[in-house]
Every structure is written in structure tokens, then in C-alpha cells.
Copies of this chain bind each other. A is one copy, B any other.
Amino acid sequence: MTVDDARALDTADPLAFARQRFLVPDGIIYLDGNSLGALPAAAPDALARTISDQWGNDLIASWNKHRWIDAPSRIAGKLAPIVGARPDELLIADSTSICLFKLLAAAVRARPGRSTILTEAGNFPTDLYVAQGVTKLWPHLTLRAVATDEIVSAIDEDTAVVTLTHVNYRSGRRHDMAAINAAAREGGALNLWDLSHSAGAIAVDLEAAGCDLAVGCGYKYLNGGPGAPAFVFVARDLQGTLETPVPGWMGHADPFAFVADYAPAAGMLQWLTGTPSILALAALDAGIDTFAGIAMADVEAKGAELTQSFLDEVEKRCGDQVWLSSPRDPAMRGSQVSFAHPQGFAVMQALIDRGIVGDFRAPDLMRFGFAPLYNSYSDAVGAAEGLTNVLATRAWDQPRFRERRKVT
């Protein structure tokens, strides 16, 4: 694929219009939306209004006048078609890690006779750490981390919860949600999915896949801003049976009655704990609005083409110097492609220096995330050309690219 071919595909791309919903700096090929989504064009004004008109002028009255109080539910409603859930099964709250803790602790308490939390070795660290934290609360629990292809066979009568990340943060490998959920259900276990690397990138259908519980990240493909609030999903049939381990006033049935005893709010609201950041919610609102009117099937289809174009062009040009760490079949991966290289860190720094922004995961993995709303075929070919050039010229072999930074 030449640069001209890519331009032609961009011209014909039915989702090309969506790039105007973002402010992506000129001259940058941004392939790190799986770590921090780009700035929605509507976000600066939305935030400025929230700050000056609402906080500044209307002050405390904004909780009613600007419906701040409803923001966690209202924004969740917009998220519903993106993850294939009903609006009343979703809520915006806290961070992904805190939400994971709440649901995981609630889930193991809903399966009191069982003592295993089952996960995948190589799951995202915070998912493992939260699960380790839950096992420390109650010594009868153990966390069992098994290889990807052993998950289904590891489910047994002692499994309380199967907790997995839908798309792996390193390889981009995607789990078959429906198959795992069916096995978990047959084994009497609950399922809990982390959608951090899939919500907004591929066509997640929590309902159709039989998901019990899920959480996800607001600041990656949902474009909600750095450290955006997360979301929680609880399937409707479980909502009466699960109990938050962290009851707080915002999740009370009648928060402004200020009564002494906790009584959970109906539905999803019990998963609120403290007062949420209204500024963070306003940014997430603008992020989720970038999906307005766009079908996730189209997003997934474009993502598959972008990642496949990049993968093919890299392998054609410099496939002997990098090792593909993502599934070759687009149906088996999310919207990212990872290549390993022994000098992956320095290679990525040299790419970033040329305005091709991916990221690096130790020890050797270069990640390239494609956000179908703002990435293009030209991005895919440009990044492949850039990588080829950096490797061919050994441009990475400079001290300034080898020096490690705190956050990579």
C-alpha cells in the first residue's frame, strides 16, 4: 500500500468525518489512543462552561440547575450503545481499579461457598493487584492465574468469579466473551470483564455475550481525558443481589435525607460512593459524544482494516526485524498491533521524535493503538514507513532515545 493508496482509502472512508470531532495536533500520527484518547473538539468549550458558568456563577445551585446530580447516570446512558448494554445497567464512577474492587468484592460475596478468583496470567497489573487485595480481605480466597487457553478448563465448582480483561493490553488479543461466559455460567461462577482496551474500539455487546459484571476505562478509546472516571456494568438480573463493599452517601437510596443507616439506592446508583468530579465527568461526556450517531460495528470494521494495513505494511517492509506479538486474525484482536524488538524502547522514542506516537511496554514491546474515529489509512502507512526507516537507519541508536523516563 502506497501513501497514495492510503489517501484514496481515506477519501472513501465513511468514518473519515469523525476526525473533525477531535483536535489532533498537526504533523503527528497519534497511535496511543489506547493509553490516552485524543482531545474532543467540543471538550475545551464544554469544560470552560462547566467551570465558569456552572461552578463559577451558579455555584452550589448547579447540582440542580445543571443536573450535576444526574451526570453519572446520564453519561452512562450515552455509553450504553457503545458497549451493548441497557442504560440502566451502567454507571460512571471512580477509577477502573476502584470499580473493579467494588464489583470483585461484591461478586465473591455473592458466591460464599466458593474460594477461587480465576484470572489470566498476564492480565493487566491493576486487575491482578485488585484481585490480590480482595484475597487478602478474606483468607479463604485464592487468586488463580492461568494461561489464556486454560481459562475455560480451569473453571470448576470452587470458582467464584472469572475476571478477565477483554482485550489484552500488551498483545491486543481478544477473548471470546460469550464462550467464557457460557462456561462460567455452567460452572456456577460469575464473570467480570475489564473493557479498558475494548470499549470504544470494537463492537462490545455485553448483553448478547451474557456478561454479568464489567468495568471499563474512560480515558482510552472513550476519549474522556487523562484519568477520566470509569464505568461499571451490572446485568439487570444481578442488581438486586450484589452489594457494594464501599457504601457511600452518593449511593444511598436518599442521599439528602442524611440518615444514619445505609440503604442502597435502587439499580446502578448504589455503585456510587463519594461525590464524583463534575469537571472529569464533563470531559468524559464530551469524549463519549464523539461516538454520537456512529455504529460500533463500523468502528470495529475500520479498526480491523487500519490494524491490518499497518501489520501488513510493517511485515512487508521490515518484517524480518520485528516480531508480531498480536494475533494475525483481526477478529482475534482489539484495535492495536504490537511488535517486539530487542531495542523496542529506543525504537519507540525515535518514532515519537518523528511524530509517530505509540508506546512501549517492557521488556521489548512497541504498541500501536488505532482509534477508528480519528486514525486514518494514511496514519497506518505513515507509521509503517516511519518504523521501517527508523530500523533501516538505526535512528534509534542514540543515547537520547535510550534514556528511560518515569512513564513510558
Question: A227–B64 contact, CB under 8 A?
Answer: no
A59 at the interface (CB under 8 A from B): yes
The interface residues of chain B lying within 8 Å CB-to-CB of A137 are: 105, 137-138, 245
Cβ of A140 within 8 Å of any chain B Cβ, yes or no, is no
Which of A124-132, A316-324, A390-398 forms contacts with chain B?
Answer: A124-132
- Tell whether, in the assembled complex, residue A132 and residue B247 are in contact, meaning their CB atoms are under 8 Å apart: yes
A278 contact from B121, B129, B226, B407, Cβ within 8 A: B226
B98 touches A55 (CB 8 A): no
- Complex contact B60–A248 (CB within 8 A): no
Given contacts A59-B30, A137-B245, A252-B129, whether A274 and B64 have CB atoms under 8 Å apart is no
Which residues in B have their C-beta under 8 angstroms from that of A89? none
The reply to whether B44 and A59 contact each other, CB–CB distance below 8 Å, is no
The answer to whether A145 has its CB under 8 Å from any CB of chain B is yes
Q: Which of B122, B256, B275 contacts A95 (CB 8 A)?
A: B275
Structural contact, A125 and B95, CB atoms closer than 8 A: no
In the assembled complex, A52 has its CB within 8 A of some CB on chain B: yes
Q: What's the nearest-Cβ distance from chain B to residue A128, in Å?
A: 6
A227 touches B276 (CB 8 A): yes
> A94: which B residues are within 8 A, CB to CB?
94-95, 98, 274
A101 at the interface (CB under 8 A from B): yes
CB–CB B36/A43 < 8 A: no
- From known contacts A32-B59, A126-B274, infer whether A226 and B279 are also in contact, taking CB-CB under 8 Å: yes
User: How far apart sit A229 and B98, CA to CA, in the bound complex (Å)?
Assistant: 14
Find chain B residues with CB under 8 A from A61 CB.
352, 357
Residue of B nearest to A408 (CB): B256
Are A95 and B248 CB-contacts (below 8 A) given A229-B277, A361-B258, A407-B69? yes
A201 at the interface (CB under 8 A from B): no
Segment at the B interface, from A9-17, A259-267, A334-342, A379-387: A259-267
B128 touches A262 (CB 8 A): yes
A277 near B274 with CB under 8 A, answer no
Report how many copies the assembly holds.
2
The 8 Å CB contact of A227, one of B43, B54, B258, B278, is: B278
Cα-based distance from A69 to B28 in the complex (angstroms): 23
* Residue of chain B at shortest CB distance from A223: B55
Give A362 to B227 CA distance when docked, in angstroms: 35
Partner of A226, one of B23, B64, B68, B406: B68
Cβ-neighbour of A38 out of B59, B105, B121, B228 (below 8 A): B59
- Chain A 55-80 per-residue mask, 1 if CB under 8 angstroms from chain B, else 0: 11101111110001100000000000
Chain A interface: which size bin? 35 or more
What is the CB-to-nearest-CB distance from A303 to chain B, in angstroms, rounded to a whole number? 19
Q: Which residues of B contact A405 (CB under 8 A)?
A: 64
User: Which chain B residues lie closer than 8 Å to A36 at the CB level?
Assistant: 55, 59-60
Task: Give every chain B residue within 8 A of A216 (Cβ-Cβ).
Answer: none
B97 touches A362 (CB 8 A): no
A308 at the interface (CB under 8 A from B): no
Q: Are B252 and A125 in touch, CB under 8 angstroms?
A: yes
- Interface presence of A219 (CB below 8 A): yes
B contact residues around A291 at 8 Å (CB): none
Is there a chain B Cβ closer than 8 Å to A113's Cβ?
Answer: no
A96 on the interface (CB 8 Å rule)? yes
Cβ-defined contact, A257 with B362, below 8 A? yes
Provide the bound-state CA to CA distance between A132 and B260, in Å.
10
With the chains together, A250 CA to B30 CA distance in Å?
24
Nearest 8 interchain pairs by C-beta: A95-B274, A97-B274, A97-B248, A126-B249, A226-B278, A39-B56, A277-B280, A63-B407
Sample 17 A-B pairs with CB under 8 A, ordered by A number.
Answer: A30-B59, A36-B59, A39-B51, A44-B51, A61-B352, A64-B406, A98-B98, A121-B260, A124-B258, A126-B248, A126-B250, A129-B249, A219-B275, A227-B275, A258-B361, A258-B362, A279-B283
